[in-house]
Amino acid sequence: MAQQSATVYKFELHGEIDPTLSYLTERAVEAAELKKVDFILIDIDTYGGAVADADKIRTSLLRTKIPTLAYIKNNAASAGALISIACDSIYMRSGSTIGAAVVVNEQGEPMPEKYQSYMRKKMRATAEETGRNPLIAEGMTDEDVVIDSIKERGKIITLSTEEAIKVGYCNARIDDEKVLLERLGGDRVKLITNEVSIAQKLMMHFLSPFVSGILLLIIFAGIYFEFKAPGTLFPIAISMIAALFYFAPLYIEGLAQNWEILLFVVGVILLGIEVFLIPGFGVTGISGIILIVAGLTLALIRNINFDFTLVPEDEIGTSFLIVTVTMISPLIFLLLFGNRILKTTFWNRLSSGEKLSSGKGYSVAGNTRLDLVGTFLPVVADLRPAGKIELDGVRYDAISEGDFIRKDSIVKVLRKQGNYWIVALSQ
């Protein structure tokens, strides 16, 4: 394989295999192809991760026409083994291992047979594509496979460096990367290390579970604030911007499908209709919330269109739990501190807009009475928390000190605040 000169493009796959690493691999392979390098070198050290993301990485490596080399520094377990086998050549340091590709859940327990079958076929097909013994690849997943002098029934194959060399799953033991580079290009090798652009770093950050959780929090907080004070617009605008940053990376990576995003959009529209057009809170609002939660949850799941066959059940449950817990968290916070926030100067500026002075033709005479405190009056426009109360045919602006109060409820006037009467639901 030695040459007079060679250009090598290198990138790392360290840690858990997830959407950020599949995105990194696709961009790195694209960059290597644009630069027309001679080899792609992948520095691998991973215990595995998501099978769907490992399969995306595998596909990228198999499709490229540039020779690919896996350099296993320590571990290439589970999904890492699949990625390594997808490379044209494999090199390992002393003490490294490759194998143990059983599909497990987050608790480390083996997944049902349909997932193991899928992984076995992927491992076998990948080994066949790269010219390695497919039975050994299957044996890394299937404990029932028997291979003379290599594997007995009931065991899963994990190969050390020397074992991998003997069975053709490692080209050579190399403890120094410089030796590997010299093997590829002699003294005239040119090494290009993958550099992640600012845009790519942002993309990878938005794909991370932590950032997704923060965006979910902003989405639900914005919707809740807009519901509490309809027409404010600022909270829902922030919520929609967060939704854009939430869905865009997932859509680009193929996680969020068109119909899943549509569920969210329809849910927001239905919730908007409930807030602004339909009194009370009924089927429309509940349907909107269900569709919003469904859209956000399904966007995190690695289904293909409407096919959920290979989506682990715990992944669906975990995604739903993430979304619902994130939805409930701001509600609890805002129920405890929402009234204080709504009374802040900052919030009043957002919700009040332009001051409606008498000099501009507006009249506030209807709210100048001082004798409403202590009276019990009917609600004539839902308090969300702002709404209307009525006395002797005259309507007054009011704000609920608490949650949503329906039209026709009876409230007690507690005090006056600016041009609003602060009220509470009569007990």
Query: Residue range 162-185: average pLDDT?
Result: 91
Which of 11-25, 168-182, 393-407 is predicted least confidently?
Answer: 393-407
What are the start-end ranges of the H helices in 343-391? Answer: 345-352
Q: Are 103 and 139 in contact (CB under 8 A)?
A: no
Q: Is pLDDT at 177 greater than 50 in this prediction?
A: yes
Q: What pLDDT band is residue 3 in, cutting at 50, 70 and 90?
A: very low
Which of 113-122, 173-182, 185-194, 220-229 is predicted least confidently?
Answer: 220-229
Query: Residue range 354-363: average pLDDT?
Result: 45
pLDDT at site 365: 43
pLDDT at site 361: 42
Q: What digits encode the pLDDT tens for the residues 255-274?
A: 778 888 899 889 888 877 87
Bin 110: left if φ > 0, else alpha if -120 < ψ < 50, else beta.
Answer: beta
Look-up: residue for tokens 């769907």? Answer: 52
> In terms of C-beta density within 10 A (0-12 exposed, 13-18 middle, 19 or more buried), how is residue 169 classed?
buried
Number of C-beta neighbours around residue 235 at 10 A: 21
Domain 354-425 has CATH 2.40.50.140: yes
Look-up: residue for tokens 């796959």? Answer: 13
pLDDT at site 81: 95
Which of 44-58, 87-101, 204-218 is predicted least confidently?
Answer: 204-218
Name the residue among 371, 406, 407, 364 with its Cα closest to residue 392.
Answer: 371
Q: Are 194 and 206 in contact (CB under 8 A)?
A: no
Residues for the chain: how many in total?
427
User: What percentage of residues in the chain have a pLDDT greater than 90?
Assistant: 27
Q: Which residues of 315-329 are buried (b: 16+ CB within 10 A; e: fewer)?
A: bbebbbebbeebbee
Mean pLDDT: which of 31-45, 305-319, 402-416 is highest? 31-45
Q: Is pLDDT at 192 greater than 70 in this prediction?
A: yes
Q: What are phi and psi of 390, to 5 degrees?
A: -140, 145
Cα separation, 417 vs 350, in Å, equals 17
Cα separation, 86 vs 57, in Å, equals 9
Cα separation, 268 vs 295, in Å, equals 10
Ordered by start, the domain boundaries in the chain are 6-196, 202-331, 354-425
pLDDT at site 310: 60
Which of 26-35, 225-234, 320-329 is predicted least confidently?
Answer: 225-234
Q: Is pLDDT at 346 greater than 70 in this prediction?
A: no
pLDDT at site 367: 46
Number of C-beta neighbours around residue 163 at 10 A: 16
Domain 6-196 has CATH 3.40.50.300: no
pLDDT at site 219: 85
Q: Which residues of 179-217 are buried (b: 16+ CB within 10 A; e: fewer)?
A: ebbbbbbeeebebbebeeeeebeebbebbeeebbebbbb
Cα separation, 100 vs 77, in Å, equals 6
The strand ranges marked E within 311-363 are: none
Cα separation, 370 vs 92, in Å, equals 84
Query: Residue range 395-401: average pLDDT?
Result: 84
User: What percentage of residues in the chain have a pLDDT greater than 70?
Assistant: 80
Q: Is pLDDT at 334 greater than 80 in this prediction?
A: no
Q: What pLDDT band is residue 408 in, cutting at 50, 70 and 90?
A: confident
Peptide bond between residue 230 and the one before it cis (omega within 30 degrees of 0): no
Q: Are 59 and 85 in contact (CB under 8 A)?
A: no
